[in-house]
Amino acid sequence: MATRMAISAAGMSPATGKKGGGQNCFLGLEWAVEGVKAVVVDEQLEVVGSEEVRFESELPEYGTRGGVLVSHNTYALNVPVEMYIKALDLLLTKLTQLSLPQRIRSISGSAPSLLLPTTSFPPAVTLPAPSQSLHAALNPLLSYPHTPLPHPLTSPAHIPALLASLLPSLPSQTSALTTLPSLLVSLLCGSYVLPSASELAATGGKLWDSQKCEWDEQGLRELLRLGMGGNDDLGDAPARVKEMMPRCNMPGSREAEEAGRIAPYFVTRYGFSPDTTIYAFQPPHISFYLSLAPSPTTGVLALGTPDVLLTPLSAVPLPPPVPRSALQPSVNRVWEREDASVVPHPAGIGEGWIAVVVSSYGEEARQQAMGKYTKTWTAFDRLVAVVPPGGTIGLDNKLFCFWGPQGQFRFRFGKTAEFEDSRVIPRCLLESQMMHLRVRLSRLLVQPHQIPRPLYPCSVPFDVYDPTALPKRMIVCGTTASYPAMSQLISDVFNSTILVPNPTPAAPANAYPFPDDLPKPETSRAALGSAYLARYSWRRNIRPEESVRYPTFGDELRALLKRKSESILYRERERERERARDKEREGLVAKGVLKKPGSGFYSHPGSRLSTTMLATVDTVEEVDETEEDDQSDPSPPMTSYQQQSSYSRSSLLMTPKTSPELADPITRARSLTGGSSASLGSYASLTSTPSAMSHTSSPAGSMASLGTPGTLMPPFTESPSASGVPQAMQEVVGLQTDEADVLLGLRKFADSDIDAFMSYAAVVPEFLRLERMLAMGSVL
């Protein structure tokens, strides 16, 4: 079925949705490569419903493949903008069938910041009559029906690539450029809305100056020179292009202020409330970050195409004394574009900043290595486990493997075409990718007073042995997080504790026995993060007094998620007690101690004897449970939770006393990465546990659902496995997890090891030297 309609366990019927009166709901939207997705949550962050429109199956008239149009002559990727708007029309129609629009109080979303040429500035947004489709408003608005699509789509630094491909072919009637998120917000509001500062900072790369909130004219000049074949005679073209570029909305002010109220067109056509507020849309990776609500010491690493590392910051780091732009003109732009940037938090200035580091083609490189050398992700992970760090024993003669669009570059005593032992390639490739992210983040966060003078400015502008600038904890989502050896490698490179979000299990329909409940749906993380932002912004405007209890977006979201998990635990424990009482009554009836209700003298309406006896049995059971609770350990250590069919605290937070698989000690061995992990022979099965990742030989299988309390899936593009069919692999047991993390839907997967971190830090100078050679084009 092309359209996936999912109803949450919050009580929605398949046909009409939840009939809970006028409870406030919040809508999160996501424009992904394959389609448009919507998630609706209530004030308690329960998923009320979700919908999806897929481009290929539901909009076949546009002829897209994978959501894009491919030119067979130039192999360029283009996107029909009208298809995005028409998909929104279909999506809102589906939500109307669930009677949801009238309950929605605020809307936010995420979309890639594609550059769109407009006929005027500001663009004249004129919505059609409510009886007409929404995409009719695009004809007088855009001067070009398609927009070039960079690869990868979700890269935060793709505006330079867009400019290089878009500017030479702009029509003469183009007056300005806007972004897709800004256009979508403008259509929802009925008038043009400028992009937010966080959107431009997240998508502009090095061309956007976050301090001045404007575009860098010198960077635009260099980009135009490259786009015009190296011609230096540009004249005033950079200045004119700077005037055409999208401008910032409310520079220096709060980002989460409402962009406006919903247009009357949507009130009449779909039934939205006239008071529905619209908030600025964000790039997908920023909304993905918001859905996890990381603490100030926790980073987020989304492994896919591309790999994106996001960490919270309390202040903007000062620029280094010598900028990276002072490279030679022959620099390889593939490596230079993959730099770090700082983005203001979408929830407002008081929320701080977000450091964003992007590495393009991360999943493609791992996918290619897996298909060529191991055929399965299980074998890939085992090679990472058995090969020593750097491919060799000791600190010298380490092996390095770089991957880019031009091909693979391997180094061992200099450049080599192939390693003597190809089994070292999976580990060397993953090490180089993680060190690339670690070096970019350290270079961004280093302060001038922290620069090691003996090393700077040779090759290392930061102290490689100082882990204080790196996140102490890291939430990892993606294929690599699903495997123990690869997860431990990430922990060693960053000296961080690795946490993995819980997946959404494919629960049967009777897994939620309370009335009117269905299994949890799979929802998009980017759409969910947008819904969380819409809910937080609405609450801050309607009930500002609650900001005393929840100073920041993360504090409020974590508190609500913990409260929701505790509510699930309480309800399930009550159901378990009720089932135990029913079983005890059945046993007493079978022994003849009790009469079956309605079958004997003591059961007539005037008799209270059977009721008294049943109450007595319940009282005895409650006393027995109280005595068992008093005899148990009051605060046992937490470990990975086990049984999916029960969400009670005794089953969700298993202890060494009650966990069947921990009754016998699990053999733990020192891993080859220097960390502590379970040996391959001791991996226990977690197929039916909500805390285990779905370990398959396919990244699509392991990334199918990345959970918090709720049902989630990532927004990043996934690569299929070599065979195209998920294969089962040997699964692992997570490490002991704190109760606070368990309630947030997180599970510890790897612990930090300072010794392993120091061993990787020792090879950072050599890594930087080789990477700089590649960036300068010195390696052929």
Q: Which of 356-365, 388-397, 399-408 has the highest mean pLDDT?
A: 356-365
pLDDT at res. 449: 58
Helix (H, G, I), strand (E, B) or coil at 104: strand
Q: Note if the bond before 634 is cis, omega within 30 degrees.
A: no
Share of the chain above pLDDT 70, in %: 63
Domains 1-6+23-149+157-282+521-548 and 285-505+638-780 share a fold: yes
Between β-strands 208-209 and 176-179, what pairing exists: parallel, antiparallel or unpaired?
A: unpaired
Cα–Cα distance for residue pair 670/685, rounded to 1 Å: 21
* H helical segments located in 295-337: 333-337
Place of tokens 């635990």: 569
Tally DSSP H helices, then E strands, for the chain. Answer: 22, 26
For 464-507, the pLDDT digits (tens) are 888 888 999 999 998 778 788 999 999 999 999 999 987 643 33
pLDDT at res. 184: 92
Between β-strands 353-359 and 340-344, what pairing exists: parallel, antiparallel or unpaired?
A: antiparallel
Q: How many residues does the chain have?
A: 780
- 123-127, 137-141, 149-153, 435-439: the lowest-pLDDT one: 149-153
pLDDT at res. 453: 53
Helix (H, G, I), strand (E, B) or coil at 56: helix
- 4-8, 86-90, 106-110, 536-540: the lowest-pLDDT one: 4-8
For 656-702, the pLDDT digits (tens) are 333 333 333 333 333 333 333 333 233 233 233 333 333 333 333 33
Which DSSP state fits 443? H
Who contacts 185 (Cβ-Cβ below 8 Å, separation ≥6)? Answer: 193, 259, 260, 278, 280, 281
Question: How many CB atoms are located within 10 Å of the residue 503 CB?
Answer: 25
Q: Decide if pLDDT at 713 tops 80.
A: no
Element (H, E) at 38: strand 35-42
Question: How many CB atoms are located within 10 Å of the residue 168 CB?
Answer: 11
Q: Decide if pLDDT at 110 tops 90.
A: yes
Task: Compute the mean pLDDT over every residue in the chain, rounded to the nearest whole number.
Answer: 71
- Burial readout 562-592 (b: 16 or more C-beta within 10 A, e: otherwise): bebbeebbeebbebeeeeeeeebbeebeeee
Query: Closest by alpha carbon to 737, among 748, 750, 751, 749?
Result: 748
Q: Decide if pLDDT at 578 tops 50.
A: yes
Query: Closest by alpha carbon to 287, among 702, 713, 711?
Result: 713
pLDDT at res. 464: 86
Element (H, E) at 298: strand 298-302
Fold of 285-505+638-780: Nucleotidyltransferase; domain 5 (3.30.420)
pLDDT at res. 29: 95
pLDDT at res. 126: 83
pLDDT at res. 717: 39
Cα–Cα distance for residue pair 643/564, rounded to 1 Å: 19
* Phi, psi torsion values for 647, nearest 5 degrees: -110, 20
pLDDT at res. 422: 83
Sheet arrangement for strand 277-278: 6-7, 47-54, 35-42, 25-31, 104-110, 277-278, 260-261
Which DSSP state fits 680? G
pLDDT at res. 247: 79
Question: How many CB atoms are located within 10 Å of the residue 397 CB?
Answer: 11
Which residues partner with 146 through β-bridges? Answer: 80
Place of tokens 């079978």: 590
User: What one-character-per-residue DSSP string does 732-743 give?
Assistant: --PPP--HHHHH
Q: Decide if pLDDT at 339 tops 70.
A: no
Cα–Cα distance for residue pair 227/242, rounded to 1 Å: 15
The predicted model scores a pTM of 0.75
Q: Decide if pLDDT at 398 tops 90.
A: no
Residue 434 binned pLDDT confidence (cut-offs 50, 70, 90): very high
pLDDT at res. 769: 82
Cα–Cα distance for residue pair 662/68, rounded to 1 Å: 50
pLDDT at res. 644: 36
Q: What is the 3-state secondary structure (H, E, C) of 595-607?
A: CCCCCCHHHCCCC
More confident residue, 162 or 216: 216
Q: Averaged over 579-583, what is the pLDDT? A: 87
More confident residue, 430 or 502: 430
Share of the chain above pLDDT 90, in %: 20
- 185-194, 341-350, 538-547: the lowest-pLDDT one: 341-350
Q: Averaged over 575-588, what is the pLDDT? A: 86
Cα–Cα distance for residue pair 570/126, rounded to 1 Å: 51
pLDDT at res. 196: 80
Which tokens belong to 438? 């670690």
pLDDT at res. 15: 32
Q: Averaged over 250-255, what is the pLDDT? A: 52
- 22-31, 241-250, 507-516: the lowest-pLDDT one: 507-516
Question: How many CB atoms are located within 10 Å of the residue 712 CB?
Answer: 31
More confident residue, 147 or 166: 147
Rg (CA), the chain: 28
Which tokens belong to 243? 């005037």
Q: Decide if pLDDT at 541 tops 50.
A: yes
pLDDT at res. 451: 56
Cα–Cα distance for residue pair 598/588, rounded to 1 Å: 15
Which tokens belong to 697? 């030989």
* H helical segments located in 446-524: 484-494
Residue 589 binned pLDDT confidence (cut-offs 50, 70, 90): confident
Q: Domain residue spans in the chain?
A: 1-6+23-149+157-282+521-548, 285-505+638-780
For 274-327, the pLDDT digits (tens) are 999 999 898 899 999 999 999 999 999 999 878 899 999 887 776 654 444 444
pLDDT at res. 649: 39
Helical packing angle, 764-775 and 425-445, nearest 10°: 90
- CATH number for the segment(s) 1-6+23-149+157-282+521-548: 3.30.420.40
